[in-house]
């Protein structure tokens, strides 16, 4: 039941204050991150987004997962420019709101899904491309999950930060900004 509908029921004497308080608490919980985000949101510049998608060789056959998606610009660009499908994953409800607005504004709602979720607890196995703009420590922490869940040949692209001992196959410079590229090896 929505807050508005519950408020009407309350006014008509059809619901109690306890139910309204419970619904308000539930609504607030849905808007708060399930835990505090690990990084602050810093948008990836459009030229870096383009370089990331190009180095990954994104096509209409890809499913691009952006972990810590922010405003969703990477999956939106992948869908709009390359015809790929995309999944935006972020733990922060404000970023989810922005990503949903970006998806709607660009008319790619049929190709891009937005998930308010913890990237460490989300199944990534559907991805053919994974994009990241996380801290080095998070990339290293995420690496075992990527190796376990992603199919061999899945491409991973990171803006600014590497993955510790896992050496990138490609490292490119985009006007002073680094982009790193790996593929999940055969098992």
Q: What would the pLDDT profile of 122-175 be if each residue is shown by its tens digit?
A: 999 999 999 999 999 999 999 999 999 999 999 999 999 999 999 999 999 999
* Local confidence band at 34 (pLDDT 50, 70, 90 cut-offs): low
Task: Output the pLDDT for position 162.
Answer: 96
Q: Which residue has the higher pLDDT, 9 or 72?
A: 72
Residue 1, pLDDT > 60, answer no
Task: Output the pLDDT for position 187.
Answer: 86
Return phi, psi of residue 173, to 5°.
Answer: -110, 130
H/E element holding 104? helix 93-105
Residue 39, pLDDT > 70, answer no
Alpha carbons 26 and 111: distance in angstroms, whole number: 29
- Each residue's pLDDT tens digit, 64-122: 999 999 999 999 999 999 999 999 999 999 999 999 999 999 999 999 999 999 999 99
CATH 3.30.429.10, domain 46-183, yes or no:
no
The tokens for 71 are: 């405003």
Residue 38, pLDDT > 90, answer no
Task: Output the pLDDT for position 41.
Answer: 77
- The full set of domain ranges for the chain reads 1-31, 46-183
Task: Output the pLDDT for position 61.
Answer: 98
Residue 18, pLDDT > 70, answer no
Alpha carbons 123 and 76: distance in angstroms, whole number: 20
* Other CB atoms within 10 A of residue 93 CB: 14
DSSP 8-state symbol, 166: B
Residue 7, pLDDT > 90, answer no
Alpha carbons 23 and 21: distance in angstroms, whole number: 5
């Amino acid at each position: 039941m929505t807050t508005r509908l519950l408020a009407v029921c309350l006014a008509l004497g059809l619901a109690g204050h306890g139910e309204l308080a419970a619904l308000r608490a539930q609504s607030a919980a849905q808007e708060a991150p399930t835990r505090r985000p690990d990084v602050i949101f810093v948008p990836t510049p459009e030229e870096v987004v383009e370089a990331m998608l190009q180095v990954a060789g994104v096509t209409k056959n890809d499913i691009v997962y952006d972990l810590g998606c922010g405003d969703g610009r990477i999956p939106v660009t992948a869908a709009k420019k390359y015809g790929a499908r995309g999944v935006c994953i972020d733990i922060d409800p404000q970023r989810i709101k922005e990503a949903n607005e970006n998806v709607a504004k660009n008319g790619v709602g049929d190709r891009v899904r937005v998930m308010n979720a913890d990237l460490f607890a989300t199944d990534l196995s559907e991805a053919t491309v994974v994009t990241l703009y996380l801290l080095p420590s998070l990339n290293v922490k995420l690496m075992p999950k990527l190796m376990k869940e992603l199919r061999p040949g899945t491409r991973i692209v990171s803006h600014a930060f590497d993955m510790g001992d896992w050496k990138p196959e490609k490292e490119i410079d985009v006007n002073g900004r680094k982009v790193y590229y790996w593929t999940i090896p055969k098992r």
